[in-house]
Amino acid sequence: MSDRNAVALEWKEIDDPQIAGFIIYRGEPGTKLTEVGVTGSRFNTHYVDTNGLLEGRQYIYRISSFTADGRESDPSLNVTANTISKLEPVGIAAGVSNLPKTAKLIFRPHPNERVNGYRIERRDKRNSAWKTVGTLKGRLNAEFIDTPLEDATEYEYRVIVVSHDNLESLPSETVRVTTKQRPPTVGGLTATTDISGAIKISWTRLPNDAKGFYRLYASSRESGGYGVIDEIRAVGSAVERFEMGEIERFYKVTFVDRDGLESSLQDQGVRGAALPER
């Protein structure tokens, strides 16, 4: 009886009190058989060989008995056993790119009913070593979502099939998936300095901006402390109003797309000022 890395041998019990145990010999076709195991009782009728067996190979066995004073019987007839071959890799159907901070992997369920699930491995250009990023239980569970990931980054994936007895297949083919890029930085940002009690902030609209919105940031100082003061859809300007005297403010604007990805803030804020009410 064979498995991928083990062979079980069985024989009929020998009713002879002189027997102290059995010696198991093994070889491959065309090679000399050598001892690979010994049992310690004449009542043994079963032996499992796990000593360095390889998958998908043919082995030849024979057994002899021995007495307490070291006498060995003639060997049995040779028997052959074939270890089971490694599971075939799973077939990758698709890797889905251009998803926000996410990669999607779809593959065909493995046809072998010994399969218990799958192990997913990933690497990127900065890391050459494969890393396990997820497992799927069940032979028919053939979709994997990996998140959160970095924007506009290419990742490589492969799938390893796992059997019920935790034996693994060779890796699948490598699939490359690239995550969605963030929206471009908003340009053309200006702010007024000549309006009483208000500052008008303007910017250059992005193409297809109806599918997202602009986020307006403001601060009382240029170097930091920016906070969100408004979110604006499908226009290229906004007005901040004040009820007090002369005000100086600094502004930045981003665009947030329908998937929630936000463009980078400008390196420097644009200065605006409100004149006192007359």
Claim to verify: residue 69 and residue 100 sit in the same structural domain: no
What is the pLDDT of the chain when averaged over all its residues?
A: 94
Contact between 198 and 242 under an 8 Å Cβ cutoff? The reply is yes
Claim to verify: residue 72 and residue 118 sit in the same structural domain: no
- CB-count exposure of residue 144 (10 Å: 0-12, 13-18, 19+): buried
Asked whether residue 45 carries a pLDDT value surpassing 80, the answer given is yes
Q: What is the mean pLDDT of residues 211-234?
A: 95
Identify the CA nearest to 133 among candidates 152, 113, 150, 158: 158
Claim to verify: residue 104 and residue 49 sit in the same structural domain: no
Claim to verify: residue 122 and residue 57 sit in the same structural domain: no
Range of the domain at 38: 7-82
Is residue 253 included in any domain, yes or no? yes
**Domain boundary, last residue among 39, 59, 82:** 82
pLDDT for res 107 = 93
List Cβ neighbours of 209 (8 Å cut-off, separation of 6 or more).
233, 234, 255
| Count of structural domains within the chain | 3
Is residue 184 included in any domain, yes or no? no
Is residue 185 included in any domain, yes or no? no
Claim to verify: residue 194 and residue 271 sit in the same structural domain: yes
Q: Flag the least confident range among 12-16, 46-50, 116-120, 123-127.
A: 123-127
Is residue 2 included in any domain, yes or no? no
Asked whether residue 93 carries a pLDDT value surpassing 70, the answer given is no
Q: What is the mean pLDDT of residues 134-162?
A: 96
Task: Give the model's confidence band at 87: pLDDT under 50 very low, under 70 low, under 90 confident, else very high.
Answer: confident
Phi and psi dihedrals of 209, rounded to 5? -75, -5
pLDDT for res 128 = 87
* Segment 178-210, tens digit of pLDDT: 999 999 999 999 999 999 999 999 999 999 899
| Chain centroid offset of residue 175 CA | 11
Claim to verify: residue 69 and residue 142 sit in the same structural domain: no
Distances (CA, A) of 122 to 70, 174, 226: 56, 9, 37
**Domain boundary, last residue among 82, 110, 140:** 82
Is residue 1 included in any domain, yes or no? no
Is residue 183 included in any domain, yes or no? no
CATH code: domain of residue 102: 2.60.40.10
Claim to verify: residue 67 and residue 104 sit in the same structural domain: no
* Segment 231-270, tens digit of pLDDT: 999 999 999 999 877 899 999 999 999 999 999 999 999 9
pLDDT for res 145 = 97
Provide, rounded to the nearest whole percent, the portion of the chain with pLDDT above 90. Answer: 85
List Cβ neighbours of 235 (8 Å cut-off, separation of 6 or more).
205, 214
Claim to verify: residue 36 and residue 96 sit in the same structural domain: no
The tokens 């900065």 sit on which residue? 126
Is residue 11 included in any domain, yes or no? yes
Q: By three-state DSSP, how is residue 210 classified? A: helix
pLDDT for res 126 = 85
Claim to verify: residue 174 and residue 155 sit in the same structural domain: yes
Asked whether residue 148 carries a pLDDT value surpassing 90, the answer given is yes
Claim to verify: residue 162 and residue 198 sit in the same structural domain: no
Is residue 118 included in any domain, yes or no? yes
Claim to verify: residue 196 and residue 234 sit in the same structural domain: yes
Asked whether residue 230 carries a pLDDT value surpassing 90, the answer given is yes
Claim to verify: residue 170 and residue 196 sit in the same structural domain: no
**Domain boundary, last residue among 82, 108, 140:** 82
* Segment 57-81, tens digit of pLDDT: 999 999 999 999 999 999 999 999 9
